[in-house]
Structure 1
Amino acid sequence: MTNLAYGTAAEDDEITQQELAAMQALRPIPRISIQAFCETDGVANPMERAGQDRRMAKAHLKVHMGGIPTAIEFYHSAPTPNLIVLETRAEPKEMLDQLGRLAEHCDPSSKVVVIGHYNDVGLYRELIRSGISEYVVAPVSMADIVAVVASIFVDPESEPIGRSVAFVGAKGGVGSSTIAHNVAWAMSSLFKSEVVVADLDLAFGTANINFDQDPAQGIAEAVFSPERIDEVYLDRLLAQCAEHLSLLAAPSTLERVYDFEPEAFSHIIDTAQRSAPMLVLDVPHIWSGWSKNTLIKADEIVITATPELANLRNTKNMVDMLKRLRPNDPPPRLILNQAGVPKRPEISAADFAEPLGISPIAVIPFEPLLFGNAANNGRMLGEMDAKNPVVAIVNEIAHVLTGRSEPKTRKKAGLGGLLGKFRRGKK
């Protein structure tokens, strides 16, 4: 490795036998997005080669020429990926100043690797203390780059890198699945970040229809063969829906009954969270041991309801129960869907929220033409009419659930903590 912690340096792009052995021991890099900003061909070339390595097959890597100033300009109007790799020939003080300016435009969840040209232990310690994931001294080899990425994202002792968001309806037919699928698509397209959707309604799931997919295999193969589940096996079951979006589809058949033990989906979810930064769980409207367990363990819960009395009662019961089951977590999020149905008496958003103690993060109006056309064509709302106000609401939900804010409202950060923005700690 070519960092100060290891104290070695690669002389060229050739892979030594020692590096080859180390590469063979590396696990595949998960579905993450990586963007590199390089100042020299000596770093850009091995970076490109790393992107072609089989261990990086699931990662999306894009290499830009230009160092930290180019990255600052680029991210002024673009979302940051899961990992940013920055080459800089700047002196230590100037490097820290540039990183401080870059931090103003970075999402808190993005990790950063710096490839510098100063072999300075003090600089290394300062960068690590500030939250940079790794400081590597040039020259670097392709093996170095893959190993650094692996050290951040596939540490076997680290917690899963992925965040799970469970969507569940307060009542059947409220549109929870449709919203889950569209929010997942928005996350993947807006932020260029890898998202996996898991349709847990094995009998009646609609994700395959909504995404216009007909995979031969899906989540049923995993849940009925738990002993086979690992990241490689799970990857074979995923259907690619878009550039950054994959689906664990439900069979949507009644050839068998789907009665499961409470922990039936736990291993699948844990494995999926090691494979992608965001996992969207489409949980059916049932209350069973496994559905309850899935909601309890999710990082975030989103309840979708329509503004009617039965929905209010069910939402109240779910919110109260989940607060008791998850005392150290924030309460579930609430989305009110199908608001404004003609001639239907409705409960206002304020009156709906008052007994729950939580306010909806979004109120989605009744738009049967938009939703109907999207469903019948196997397309997402944003593909059908990107300028529709409902699409803007869905995009805002995606921002809220990923902890992002709109670029215009991002808060600026100073250097101190690199500042809290570049977090070295792994999720």
Structure 2
Amino acid sequence: MASTAANLSTLFGNQVNEDLMVFVDDEHSLGVCRAAASDLGASTDAIQDGGIVEALNRIEPGHSPKKVVADISRSLDPEADVTRLVRKMGPTNHLIIIGTSNDVKVFRKMIALGAQDYLVKPLTAEDFVDAVDHVDKAGAAANTAQSGKLTVIIGVRGGTGASTIATNLAWIMANEERMTTALLDLDLHFGTSTLSLDVESGGGFREALENPHRLDKLFLDSAITKAGDRLAVLGTEEPIEEFVDVNPDSIDTLIGEISQDYSQVIVDLPRHLLPTQGALLASADTVVLVSDQTLAGIRDMNRITQAMTSLSTKGRIVRVISRVGSERVAQVAKADFQKALEEPAQYFVPEDGKTVSVCANAGKAVSEVNMKAPITKVLREMAADLSDYEEPKKKGLFGLGSKKPKKSKKAKG
């Protein structure tokens, strides 16, 4: 067990152990867990009284311990509480439930809701330690098997072309880099990903977001639309007059399922969802902020960058300036724009209205329409950067070859 298990962090006014926290509802279980804490390399401060209700009060989205053990014995609605806790913890953390019922139906229900194990009282130190160790080993195996990278793309202003960039990056990763890729368009009323790729919207995306406890591989497959052998698209066009009740934590559950089957996950996140998606942003490998080259773009790029810090985003932040060109009005000079940003932009995507218009009308990606356009070159470089793609060795004389050096991450102009 990592030594960080004994370190406590103050988050939202509460002390939360980074590796393991236990919340139990009776003195016997409290004593057993505290006695066994040293065997797990954990502090006794990580063992708390109060059961799952206390766990729900203490844990905030994006700030969950890696493992949580929660007692449901005194819960008035155990299934609802477990569902809420799983959502708060996110897809990369693990939950063990303690209860009084020895019914296999209860065990199966807890597993279906997202728990990794279910322990029956009276609790023994051996059962407790074995359950936590088993979750550790299972988590390590899953991390080894899963190579999925999560990229979240946000347009800091409307009309910056963030959705066009997200769609084309996903297409390039799937078709040119040959990686299994999933594209999630979270603009549920006005999303354009399925339209841009000329595919039908899946039927179950909304239900998956409203009822994450129902998610399994079969259900997910019914919501996915395939846009080729390696590209899966999750998008929808919900009636404008209907409110979609998306649980703030359901997106993390969805991505946890998708990441098991796809090496690259691209999320097109509308900026109005930022306040509810702290856990998603905290778990992203990369957050791409897309702006136009305007004064308002500078302001909003800096504001959202500051928000990323307060949301404890651990991944890399990539700044992209889109729709750059001499025909664009009200643009700030590139040097002035870079100077005004808290951190300089890494990519400048040129305006190419002709190519983008042809793509929109044909339902094709930019690379399909114009392979040699400047916009295509920048999008390919960005895709390789985000996915860690390296071109395969090219065989030369006598079968010898050399690997192409990975492209620089300096600002593209």
- Taking structure 1 as the reference length, what is the TM-score of the superposition? 0.56
| Correspondent of 2:270 among 280, 284, 287 | 284
Bigger mean CA offset, 342-351 vs 217-226: 342-351
**Partners of 1:185 and 1:380 within 8 A in 2:** yes
Given the alignment of the two structures, is residue 213 of structure 1 paired with residue 211 of structure 2, yes or no?
Answer: no
**Partners of 2:163 and 2:192 within 8 A in 1:** yes
**Partners of 2:225 and 2:233 within 8 A in 1:** yes
Given the alignment of the two structures, is residue 366 of structure 1 paired with residue 366 of structure 2, yes or no?
Answer: no
1:142-170 CA-partner distances (Å, limit 9, x unpaired): xxxxxxxxx99994576853111000001
How far apart, in 1, do the equivalents of 2:226 and 2:264 lie? 15
How far apart, in 1, do the equivalents of 2:143 and 2:330 lie? 54
Bigger mean CA offset, 294-303 vs 158-167: 158-167
How far apart, in 2, do the equivalents of 1:302 and 1:221 lie? 27
Q: Give, as a single letter, the amino acid of the residue that structure 1 aligns with 2:234.
A: L
Runs of at least 5 residues in structure 1 that lack an aligned partner in the other structure? 1-150, 412-427
Asked which structure has the greater RCO (Cα within 8 Å, sep 6+), the reply is 1
Give secondary structure in 2 for the equivalent of 1:253.
coil
1:312/1:351 Cα in 2 relative to 1: closer, same or farther (>3 Å)?
Answer: same
Match in the other structure for 1:231: 217
1:157/1:209 Cα in 2 relative to 1: closer, same or farther (>3 Å)?
Answer: closer
| Correspondent of 1:333 among 318, 321, 332 | 318
Give secondary structure in 2 for the equivalent of 1:242.
coil
User: Going by fraction, where is helix more abundant, 1 or 2?
Assistant: 2
Match in the other structure for 1:110: none
Give secondary structure in 2 for the equivalent of 1:371.
helix
| Correspondent of 1:200 among 179, 182, 186 | 186
**Partners of 1:218 and 1:249 within 8 A in 2:** no
How far apart, in 2, do the equivalents of 1:296 and 1:347 lie? 31
1:325-362 CA-partner distances (Å, limit 9, x unpaired): 226443x1011111114261312333223233323222
1:375/1:232 Cα in 2 relative to 1: closer, same or farther (>3 Å)?
Answer: same
1:157/1:277 Cα in 2 relative to 1: closer, same or farther (>3 Å)?
Answer: closer
How far apart, in 2, do the equivalents of 1:367 and 1:288 lie? 29
Q: CA deviation at 1:194?
A: 0.2
How far apart, in 2, do the equivalents of 1:343 and 1:224 lie? 40
Match in the other structure for 2:164: 178
1:373/1:343 Cα in 2 relative to 1: closer, same or farther (>3 Å)?
Answer: closer
**Partners of 2:202 and 2:236 within 8 A in 1:** no
Match in the other structure for 2:260: 274
**Partners of 1:218 and 1:251 within 8 A in 2:** no
How far apart, in 1, do the equivalents of 2:204 and 2:198 lie? 14
1:246/1:157 Cα in 2 relative to 1: closer, same or farther (>3 Å)?
Answer: closer
**Partners of 1:319 and 1:356 within 8 A in 2:** no
- Taking structure 2 as the reference length, what is the TM-score of the superposition? 0.58
**Partners of 2:295 and 2:332 within 8 A in 1:** yes
1:297-329 CA-partner distances (Å, limit 9, x unpaired): 322100110000111100000011202322644
Match in the other structure for 2:338: 353
How far apart, in 1, do the equivalents of 2:142 and 2:366 lie? 38
Written as runs of structure 1 = structure 2, the 5 A alignment for 1:65-214 is 155-156=141-142, 160-214=146-200
Match in the other structure for 2:280: 294
Give secondary structure in 1 for the equivalent of 2:360.
helix
Give secondary structure in 1 for the equivalent of 2:320.
strand
1:383/1:273 Cα in 2 relative to 1: closer, same or farther (>3 Å)?
Answer: same
How far apart, in 1, do the equivalents of 2:380 and 2:278 lie? 28
**Partners of 1:262 and 1:289 within 8 A in 2:** no
**Partners of 2:202 and 2:235 within 8 A in 1:** no
**Partners of 1:170 and 1:311 within 8 A in 2:** yes
Q: CA deviation at 1:376?
A: 1.6
How far apart, in 1, do the equivalents of 2:337 and 2:384 lie? 23
Give secondary structure in 2 for the equivalent of 1:165.
strand
How far apart, in 1, do the equivalents of 2:405 and 2:335 lie? 28
1:316/1:378 Cα in 2 relative to 1: closer, same or farther (>3 Å)?
Answer: same
Runs of at least 5 residues in structure 2 that lack an aligned partner in the other structure? 1-136, 393-402, 407-413
**Partners of 1:168 and 1:302 within 8 A in 2:** yes
Q: How many residues align?
A: 260
Match in the other structure for 1:308: 294
How far apart, in 1, do the equivalents of 2:145 and 2:229 lie? 26
Please provide the CA RMSD for this pair: 2.6
Q: CA deviation at 1:236?
A: 2.3
Match in the other structure for 1:410: 405
